[in-house]
Structure 1
Amino acid sequence: MSVNQQAHTGPPYGQPQPGYQGYQQPAYGGQPLPGVPQSQYGAYNGPMPGYQQPVPPQGSLRAPPTSGAPPPATGASLPSGHLAYSQFGHGDVQNGIPASAAPMQRPPASQPFLPGSAPTPVSQTSTFQQYGPPPASVQQLSNHMAGMTIGSTTASAPPPAGLGYGPPTSVPPVSGSFSATGSGLYTPYTASQGPPPTSVSQGLPLAQPPFLGQPISTQRLPTQVPGFAPPPSSTGIGPSSYSPATGAPRPPTMPGPPLSGQTVAGPPTSQPNHISSPPPPSTMSGPHPGPPMSGLHGPPPPTHPPQPGYQMQQNGSFGQVRGPQPNYGGAYPGTPNYGSQPGPPPPPKRLDPDSIPSPIQVIEDDRSNRGSEPFVTGVRGQVPPLVTTNFLVKDQGNASPRYIRCTSYNIPCTSDMAKQSQVPLAAVIKPLATLPPEETLPYLVDHGESGPVRCNRCKAYMCPFMQFIEGGRRFQCCFCSCVTEVPPHYFQHLDHTGKRVDFYDRPELSLGSYEFLATVDYCKNNKFPSPPAFIFMIDVSYNAVKSGLVRLICEELKSLLDYLPREGNMEESAIRVGFVTYNKVLHFYNVKSSLAQPQMMVVSDVADMFVPLLDGFLVNVNESRTVIASLLDQIPEMFADTRETETVFAPVIQAGLEALKAAECAGKLFIFHTSLPIAEAPGKLKNRDDKKLINTDKEKTLFQPQTSFYNNLAKDCVAQGCCVDLFLFPNQYLDVATLGVVTYQTGGSVYKYAYFQLETDQDRFLNDLRRDVQKEVGFDAVMRVRTSTGIRATDFFGAFYMSNTTDVEMAGLDCDKTITVEFKHDDKLSEDSGALLQCALLYTSCAGQRRLRIHNLSLNCCTQLADLYRNCETDTLINYLAKYAYRGVLGSPVKTVRDALINQCAQILACYRKNCASPSSAGQLILPECMKLLPVYLNCVLKSDVLQPGPEVTTDDRAYIRQLVTSMDVAETNVFFYPRLLPLTKADVDSDSLPAAIRNSEERLSKGDIYLLENGLNIFVWVGVNVQQGLIQNLFGVSSFSQISNALSTLPVLENPFSKKVRSIVDMLQVQRSRYMKLIIVKQEDKLEMLFKHFLVEDKSLSGGASYVDFLCHMHKEIRQLLS
């Protein structure tokens, strides 16, 4: 097939890009936008560039908390026979079953798509609008993407669901071997049915067909899930009618031999969970030495040089970079036909992974371009550095990106434009985010009895964007334009620029984030709140006692109670504590300081819960120290011989709620629970786990609570300010979807330790517990987001309760939780005035002080789509899309949710291609510069455990991950969906920094090296089979690869530079994450390697998730279909 080859104008991915179409890019180059005034606020008379942070008024600065961490507990290691994940036992297999001499059967031909109706165009304009010269910075992925033959007329559909990201943590600790017959993961292929596929010209190669069974449908999600209806696209994906004669660019060559012997077909839709065999491990790094492929005549290798502008990107891995090899086209290649009949001509070589956008390259470029300068927030609509970049923030009138990040910093002026682009307008808000020590905490402003100054009409709080008029006697609201009198005590004259002369002395006039001390009007029942209380509620059933958990908790609490959160200037915490133990009945303890010994009171009538004592239940730790210590010594002994296996759950929450009601305070319940609550009591549950529901219309019931009882209980808890944190230690199904309801709706956290074992899990549990007890929490919180005229907040995602459409209510909100808010147009916006957001959080501090925390952000508005696409942030977009999809599974089949995500992203990219990119061949995939990672990250979301579970992912894991992700911030979702992979072998032992990350693909791993992969929940240390003996000795303290124990939960402390460096890397990563990550040692070709490979997200997943290359091809096909 001869096709003309065109040289590209697009530069390589690894290089910093020039501005789009002649525009400068403030996000990446730090240059000012033309037409934007140099004053720090543009139209809002903000502080001038020389502004310095004022010295706070006496007494108003809140010092950082001073509580240190308690001493770490040491943990023993697990016996070497123990293995945490039995079903990954595949014996000594690197990538599946070794190739044998027997002939391998080809997979059946992929299922055809149904031809669909004509697609609806994305926008009314059908011509390309071109602004200025063709963009040099647009990424044109045409190499390998145009004029190629695809192996079958019947373009393959999306594959079935697969392992995602939430770690499959629920596998019993039993070691076991893996049988190849009849297993869920390896099923022999059946012989191919039907005629051999014919070859058809198509703009994109699909080396492995990316998606499953049915065509992308236009079916909309039910209306009770708001906003889930993307514009319809074509119902089917038929074979493309593209002919190579249309001048589509010809693919350049890739280094490496031609893939002559490989026939690749899609996975059969009836058997989703298998892979074909790769070559044996010994031949992995070079061409396959097998017998010659008789009868398979591929095209001769092209001889023309690679196109200019697409140089090979630096691999990032150490040692020799492997090019693609024959019969090894990625992680799970097709099967060579040894000695079989001649097959059809093989498909073309797959896209070179080095020629498509690399997350690692984008992250590194942003770090080098934007990591050295502080991010100054004085300019409207400024895109911040990526979450993966370390940078300092100088607040000059807009809230720090640590508090608020947006999907786009330039909002379309009209709703039509927003609908046309399909880019969601959303903000991810983390109101109590922890700041690095170099940045100043929000100042606390006290306006006395009159309280904060607010707009008369919309009640927005005083902020830097309010305009003072009439000599300072009145101000015009920047949100609703209403004019309000300035209270006499707040009056101040204006200078010649119209700015108040005390501008720099008042945080609320010069800063984006600050706090007000609330007056009694902002308190419940017009009464200032009491300090909050912590109640520890410990399951003392047989499982909890036998596992050593009860003793561990009691021992830890003795020291941990000295580290309760406190205000910066207080010597001791104002928080009071109480203790309850339970199995089928509840035991309350009187720990009043005047008692010599604690007293126990039992409530066996769990149907009508009450608290049997008031005085002595909630106490000050210092006053009752000896009684509390005595109680914590006695509890493990008291229940040491228990035979009670049944537990209650709802009455435990009711008891804590009643105790807080009686004490008239807010607080938090720490519940340590081990089993499904089947004892006779309110909220009793049954085991309803049913794997057969997966991929059916009833799958959504697995995510829904099985009774409405807990929803009502959650509502009562929120009303009292009773937040519930849940520590789960299940050995079997526990129904997280139901037990987590109260936690989720009160703003609490769920922690899960499946098959808890003291030796391997105590470090992780104790670190999580310490952080959970010590971290900053706002109690009895209400959040409202106000916007300027033209847009309004319409939808909210996160762990909270809403009794109306505007107020987000949380019994507790900690420093790790985010609320994601979606905005919609209700009027036209003006390019001149921009758009404003104000997030106001009313909460009770840990000392019992009622406060208002205010965050303000100003955004630009645009009339050109190009401006929208130039100011988006993909990481925030993915955070929003994941939460949107994870909520969608509560009311819609998972397939519908997946299709809606793919459709929306195809619409976003098709709109860009149609309206912003310069005209070019349809064989080229053109992505906006700041969205070039959208396909790879979206594929990661689609392959996650919630949307595409593998056979070993439990129902509880999926419900747990679904709830966890819903409260994650942008940095957490970034590493959760695209884990960080670090090579350790060549790490510089003298440097304090982390080694440079590499891409998440098995192709990047070398057998002679050690790698670390982290995803925010787990840290895997992968050891190659050929690692030097000296390195193994230095890191693990054993002399050979075979002696490394899988049971290690911590790295041994050895006195050598390599051990110190690796342990310091692990410590650095642990500090960055909100949860303590579980350490898992993975040896190459070991059972656990399957679990590790599940997180190599650029590869095809075992359960059918597409590889990055295949998904990019699939997205290109979707985009072309929308544009045709």
Structure 2
Amino acid sequence: MCPYMQFIEGGRRFQCGFCSCVTEVPPHYFQHLDHTGKRVDCYDRPELSLGSYEFLATVDYCKNNKLPQPPAFIFLIDVSYNAVKSGMVNIVCQELKTLLDYLPRENPEMDSVVRVGFVTYNKVLHFYNVKSSLAQPQMLVVSDVSDMFVPLLDGFLVNVNESRLVIESLLDQIPEMFADTRETETVFGPVIQAGLEALKAADCAGKLFVFHTSLPIAEAPGKLKNREDKKLIGTDKEKSLFQPQVGFYNTLAKECVAQGCCVDLFLFPNQYVDVATLGVVPVSTGGSVYKYTYFQAQADKERFLNDLRRDVQKLVGFDAVMRVRTSTGIRATDFFGSFFMSNTTDVELAGLDCDKAITVEFKHDDKLSEETGALMQCAVLYTSCSGQRRLRVHNMAVNCCSQLADLYRNCETDTIINFFSKYAFRGVLSNPTKAVRDTLVNQCAQILACYRKNCASPSSAGQLILPECMKLLPVYLNCVLKSDVLLPGADVSLDDRAYLRQLISCMDVSESHVFFYPRLLPLTKLESGSLPMAVRDSEERLSKGGVYLLETGLHLFLWVGANVQQELLLNIFGTPSFSQIEPSMLLIPDWTEPSCVLPLSHMSLSSCLQLMVVKQEDRTELIFRHFLVEDKSASGGASYVDFLCHMHKEIRQLLS
């Protein structure tokens, strides 16, 4: 019997949620019931006693009725002039020699079964044979990028331990081979096609790690042109800047998902690269986009390597299909995140890892019972990093209420903001940003007006009354409205906006909370091993005699007041003088040490953040103040007080 079954026809038959097969319930099933009708083996079987559990799937749940092969990782490295000159190529090659010892594995004591392959590229692609029997790696060049193929099968995807000497020789040679290159043009579409074809030939799922630097203008499928036109911002044509430039990458993404080919993209741009287009395949396959603008080896190396190490080592599932089911009365109507959907029910993910959240919108369209509540089930069929086909099931029961007051009493503002931001950031693909902002304000006003009309005690119309659990909804909504995606400053690039839009789509609630309302921590009085209480994100909360740490989820700032105490300056910078402070003098780069002032491990970081030291009245303070979200922004965004007055006006208009 298939492991994922639902009772149908009065409990006499089972129907599978994935393959739709129907199975008769064996007569002996009912011999396991006690006098109350409860299974006597309830606590012996996880699916009967746990909210989350996992099955080892049978061959019926595998493609072509064959058990899957272990997955593969393919590293595709841009070796054009910009990539070599920035130091990226050398850093990647040196790091991979160590990092390949830490490929994901479910048993720490066992070797990883993940195989690896290597490709370098500029206008053409170079495949490498690293078969263990070779004395030296062999390069095979594919110059016809219009019809991509893999020139070798045996020796391309290999076991790391078996081919270690050949792999290390290759990684040492790559920087030397391209050290004197003058090739500035690159391709991109054929690079992903190459990895996809290699996985197809090996009949396995896997992940592509693409290290890329520039707009792909070389003649090839997926060729792009520079369309950075800031005159379109604020017009009805602005939405086109968030859409992919060509349809090629949408088609390619669909092919990748079908193979279980996840793509992670590491970008090192010095100018416009069209993230809106290049990010289509990573976002659609459940992958990630990392961006290091104006990459400098000395300044950005550690941040990049931390991201790369985490990305390579984390556990990942491949070739996944997720389906969400509910009890009568509610149904899943929309999904937000990094995935692909070919129909209205199946969420397809070539890759699935711990850094991605999927947001599901449920619609209430029938009667719900307060006694039984509402039931939700999420089932994910996937291939583990060890090559096993598995089925993971999550079940959840939620309470229902018939009174609006109870609903407002138990809502979660952070979750609402997470949903609103994803809804809005997807909306910019088809609507002007002003229309998206207006829609957000209207939705928020309707929620609060409904409470005022149906739940609040009678009071003066001039009084603003908010639900206890939603008192912070206006301040957080204002942060979303002032974000660089919906209201960019003059210095915000189109690539940055596209990058942020894609990034938010798969954030969980805690990550989006810090992103929209950064955490501002005063470091004036600290006790070792504990975090200070955060203060509100406003300039008036800053003291000239203080030092403040600001975390945005992407950036980390250390703001130093002009009148800071000498003792604190000595502890942090090793100097008693404010005028002598230099970012390079920071004495506490590793705040995870027990002896350090602040335990950074307590902060919600999924990637390494680069720390920027900001002195009061320095030029860099403008960047820091951009994240003081309760103040009026340079791009025209309202202060919290002004927006609260505007929201009150909107509510009164709805009630009049």
TM-score when normalising by structure 1: 0.57
- Tell me the residue number matched to 2:648: 1116
- Tell me the residue number matched to 2:556: 1019
- Residue aligned with 2:599, SS: helix
* Alpha-carbon spacing, 1:1083–1:491, altered in 2? closer, same or farther (3 Å): farther
* Alpha-carbon spacing, 1:495–1:897, altered in 2? closer, same or farther (3 Å): same
Which whole-Å deviations, capped at 9, do the CAs of 1:155-179 have from their partners, x for residues lacking one? xxxxxxxxxxxxxxxxxxxxxxxxx
- Residue aligned with 1:587, SS: strand
Which of 14, 33, 53 is matched with 1:494 structurally? 33
The higher relative CO (CA closer than 8 Å, separation ≥ 6) is in 1
Q: Is residue 996 from structure 1 mapped to residue 530 from structure 2 by the alignment? A: no
1:492–1:501 Cα contact (<8 Å) kept: no
- Tell me the residue number matched to 2:543: 1006
Give 1:1055 shift: 12
Give 1:865 shift: 1.1
Give 1:924 shift: 1.3
Give 1:477 shift: 12
Give 1:496 shift: 4.4
Once the two structures are superposed, the pairs formed by residues 209-220 of structure 1 within 5 Å of their partners are none
2:263–2:285 Cα contact (<8 Å) kept: yes
1:1034–1:1054 Cα contact (<8 Å) kept: no
- Tell me the residue number matched to 2:131: 592
- Tell me the residue number matched to 1:195: none
Which whole-Å deviations, capped at 9, do the CAs of 1:734-785 have from their partners, x for residues lacking one? 1000000011111100000000011111110000000000111110011000
* Alpha-carbon spacing, 1:901–1:603, altered in 2? closer, same or farther (3 Å): same
Runs of 4+ with deviation above 6 angstroms? 473-478, 1054-1059
Once the two structures are superposed, the pairs formed by residues 702-851 of structure 1 within 5 Å of their partners are 702-851=241-390
Structure 1 letter corresponding to 2:384? S
CA distance in 1, matches of 2:120, 2:392: 37
CA distance in 2, matches of 1:737, 1:692: 17
- Residue aligned with 2:94, SS: helix
Structure 2 letter corresponding to 1:1079? L
1:1037–1:1054 Cα contact (<8 Å) kept: no
Give 1:456 shift: 5.1
Give 1:1076 shift: 1.1
Q: Is residue 573 from structure 1 mapped to residue 124 from structure 2 by the alignment? A: no
Give 1:1066 shift: 3.1
1:1035–1:1058 Cα contact (<8 Å) kept: no
2:592–2:599 Cα contact (<8 Å) kept: no
* Alpha-carbon spacing, 1:1031–1:575, altered in 2? closer, same or farther (3 Å): same
Q: Is residue 525 from structure 1 mapped to residue 64 from structure 2 by the alignment? A: yes
In the comparison of the two structures, how many residue pairs are matched? 652
- Tell me the residue number matched to 2:191: 652
CA distance in 1, matches of 2:586, 2:379: 44
Which of 1061, 1068, 1084 is matched with 2:596 structurally? 1061
Structure 1: gaps spanning 5 or more residues:
1-449, 459-467
Higher helix fraction: Structure 1 or Structure 2? 2
Which of 397, 400, 408 is matched with 1:869 structurally? 408
2:8–2:14 Cα contact (<8 Å) kept: no
1:981–1:1013 Cα contact (<8 Å) kept: yes
Which of 118, 140, 143 is matched with 1:601 structurally? 140
1:611–1:659 Cα contact (<8 Å) kept: yes
Q: Is residue 1087 from structure 1 mapped to residue 619 from structure 2 by the alignment? A: yes
Structure 2 letter corresponding to 1:1012? L
- Tell me the residue number matched to 2:521: 982
Which of 566, 590, 615 is matched with 1:1029 structurally? 566
Q: Is residue 1101 from structure 1 mapped to residue 633 from structure 2 by the alignment? A: yes
- Residue aligned with 1:1031, SS: helix
1:945–1:953 Cα contact (<8 Å) kept: yes
CA distance in 2, matches of 1:933, 1:496: 52
CA distance in 2, matches of 1:766, 1:1099: 35
2:7–2:14 Cα contact (<8 Å) kept: no
Structure 2 letter corresponding to 1:1061? C
CA distance in 2, matches of 1:1052, 1:713: 47
Which of 454, 457, 460 is matched with 1:918 structurally? 457
- Residue aligned with 1:945, SS: coil
* Alpha-carbon spacing, 1:579–1:1103, altered in 2? closer, same or farther (3 Å): same
2:7–2:13 Cα contact (<8 Å) kept: no
- Tell me the residue number matched to 1:961: 500
Q: Pick the structure with greater CA Rg.
A: 1
Once the two structures are superposed, the pairs formed by residues 213-362 of structure 1 within 5 Å of their partners are none
The percent identity for this pair of structures is 78
Q: Is residue 455 from structure 1 mapped to residue 11 from structure 2 by the alignment? A: no
1:1020–1:1080 Cα contact (<8 Å) kept: yes
- Tell me the residue number matched to 1:1052: 587
2:591–2:599 Cα contact (<8 Å) kept: no
Give 1:1057 shift: 13
TM-score when normalising by structure 2: 0.96
Structure 2: gaps spanning 5 or more residues:
none
Q: Is residue 1076 from structure 1 mapped to residue 608 from structure 2 by the alignment? A: yes
- Residue aligned with 2:208, SS: strand
CA distance in 2, matches of 1:1020, 1:632: 36
- Residue aligned with 1:823, SS: strand
CA distance in 1, matches of 2:206, 2:647: 48
* Alpha-carbon spacing, 1:457–1:600, altered in 2? closer, same or farther (3 Å): farther
CA distance in 1, matches of 2:417, 2:31: 45
* Alpha-carbon spacing, 1:708–1:980, altered in 2? closer, same or farther (3 Å): same
CA distance in 1, matches of 2:278, 2:589: 42
Structure 1 letter corresponding to 2:85? K
CA distance in 2, matches of 1:864, 1:1073: 39
Give 1:811 shift: 0.6
Once the two structures are superposed, the pairs formed by residues 615-634 of structure 1 within 5 Å of their partners are 615-634=154-173
- Tell me the residue number matched to 1:238: none
Structure 1 letter corresponding to 2:599? I
Which of 461, 464, 468 is matched with 1:929 structurally? 468
CA distance in 1, matches of 2:455, 2:108: 55
- Tell me the residue number matched to 1:907: 446
2:7–2:15 Cα contact (<8 Å) kept: no
Give 1:506 shift: 1.5
1:1035–1:1059 Cα contact (<8 Å) kept: no
1:587–1:601 Cα contact (<8 Å) kept: yes
Which whole-Å deviations, capped at 9, do the CAs of 1:416-448 have from their partners, x for residues lacking one? xxxxxxxxxxxxxxxxxxxxxxxxxxxxxxxxx
CA distance in 2, matches of 1:1122, 1:826: 24
